[in-house]
Amino acid sequence: MSITLAMTDSHEISRDELIALLDLAGELSTQVDHHKVVLAILERACSFTNSPEGSVLMYDPIRKGLYFSATRGAKGDELLQKFGEGSNQRIPIEGSKAGQAFRSGEITISSNVQDDSEHFKNVDDQIGNVTVSVISVPLMITGSIVGVLQLLNKTNSSGELCPYDEYDCALLQHLGRIAAAAINNARLVQKLTAQTGMYARDGVSQYLEIIDQPARPERVTALFADMRGFTQLCQTQSDATRTQEILNDFLGMLADQVLLRGGIVNKFIGDAVFALFQGEGAPAAAVRCSFDMLERFDSLLRRWMDECNEDLSFIDIGIGIATGTAAVGSFGSAEVKNFTAIGTVINLASAFENAARNGRRVLVDNSTWSASRHIVQESEGPLPFNLGKPDQGVKIKYQHYYLKRLTPDRPVRVFLSHNHHDREYVETRIREPLAKRHVETWYSENDIIPGDDYIHRIQDGLLKCDWMLVILTSSAAASDWVRAEVNTALKDPRFRGRVVPVRVDDALPDQMSSTFGSLDLLDVSNSPNPGDTIYEFLVQREQQIRAIR
């Protein structure tokens, strides 16, 4: 049985529960860490309703689905891995109980969810769970729904399963309002903090403590990356919107690589990005990041040139990196502050970026070179460099290096091209083992229907990745979508030698693409641990590719 209850105040709650809600509201009002906020909400909701399992799902406006932001229960970690923010899967708005609450803006209760047509069974199937009863509460603030609070499998005092009732609905209605406001506040703080120059992959809560503190000396690695030819680009593009799209592609790619390597995106400066790397491995991380940018820039440039009539070969990228002590902290007035780093090392990195032209795309100082030389395979230097303004009489002399090539890196992010019928195999036998080795994976959640700009979607995914694994099965061989992913990757020079057909059943490579006959086939059909086999293959293949180049 499934019922939908409007968001009304028709049922009273007890005095003790009202006090508990007020306590929760007070606790959340002082918390700005989004992760801690959703965990506190979920813990209290499960306690109120005697629910052993529950989750907070947030809406992803880009992929138009819901993802698990916090979970509670034995399968919680697995849920976050497979359907969390960083995963490739989303809970659909149409055809799920959480989506039903999100669409309607009303609390929904299902006492026998397995017989409910709105139940999205894919989650239970993937994690091996059985959901009996479920209550889904929309998290609404100022008329906008930001997510859904969902609780499962309520039990009574004897530990027996029992249905959710209207009293639960009334209680969770109040909690949902508090939760939505707290989540909205935490997300707003996160966005505002990012605007002050503290946008990091793991959130910004660790930086909030130093917003009001004086700047302090800290050894950092500074990276500047800039588009060469942007002024000419603006002059050649008659459509300003197209120029903006190119710039967004470029800056988005730069930011993604900074975050992937553990850096902080401090500022976008016109057509450039300023990033900071902290910690012992900062120089090597920044250098790796710079070459990630180079490789993806070449893919972007090719894509831009395919989409316009003008010759854009004049566009290039320049990157400067320097390591040293800078003043790191908040600068400005008492009312308006900005988190950043200042000092000679920052000026030096900026000067290197300005000098990185005419094919010399990555320039680094001596400190960065010394700390990262173990990953540099080819370079020129030391070369003299004078730091100072053009009209400055005495300039400071430095040494710098021009980096040409790095040693092979471990796989960082892999595009998994496969048919949705093979999703369970891909998740359990490939994605999860690779994740344990700190290799991220990306794949399109659903086949895109004809008419959608599917080539752009594929290109966006490829831009995030270093390799493509084509999971070769009879289902994949019959899939036009998988074939489109493969053909798009094969057209990108960056993926030359990096598209790997992985055979898991009797399907033959030429059923997918005639090009596969010349590629290295990786047969894991008889491997007890295909994920481990794939990882070892990629590491070895990376070394071979780097040796050839």
Residue 8 scores a pLDDT above 60: no
In the chain, CATH 3.30.450.40 sits at 2-194
CB atoms within 10 A of CB 89: 21
Amino acid code (one letter) for 548: I
Percent of the chain predicted with pLDDT > 90: 23
Which distant-in-sequence residues (6+ apart) come within 8 Å of 173 by Cβ?
Answer: 7, 8, 9, 107, 137
**CATH architecture, domain 210-406:** 2-Layer Sandwich (3.30)
Please, which pLDDT band fits residue 192 given cuts at 50, 70 and 90? low
End-to-end Cα separation, the chain, in angstroms: 63
Residue 110 scores a pLDDT above 50: yes
Residue 385 scores a pLDDT above 70: yes
CB atoms within 10 A of CB 46: 19
Rounded distance between C-alpha atoms, residue 12 and residue 201, angstroms: 43
Yes or no: say if 119 and 96 are a contact pair by the CB < 8 Å rule.
yes
pLDDT of residue 28: 65
pLDDT, tens digit (0-9, with 9 covering 90-100), for 121-138: 888 888 888 888 899 989
Q: Which CATH class is domain 413-548?
A: alpha beta
- Count the residues in the chain: 549
Would you identify the CATH topology of the domain 2-194?
Beta-Lactamase (3.30.450)
Taking residues 77-90, what's their average pLDDT?
Answer: 82
Taking residues 88-112, what's their average pLDDT?
Answer: 88
Taking residues 264-269, what's their average pLDDT?
Answer: 88
Taking residues 144-165, what's their average pLDDT?
Answer: 88
Closest CA to 485 of 453, 522, 520, 457: 457
pLDDT, tens digit (0-9, with 9 covering 90-100), for 503-531: 888 877 777 777 766 557 888 988 899 99
Looking at every residue in the chain, the average pLDDT score rounds to: 82
pLDDT of residue 376: 92
Residue 15 scores a pLDDT above 70: no
- Lowest mean pLDDT, pick from 193-207, 249-263, 461-475, 481-495: 193-207
Residue 10 scores a pLDDT above 50: no
Taking residues 312-341, what's their average pLDDT?
Answer: 84
292: three-class secondary structure by DSSP = helix
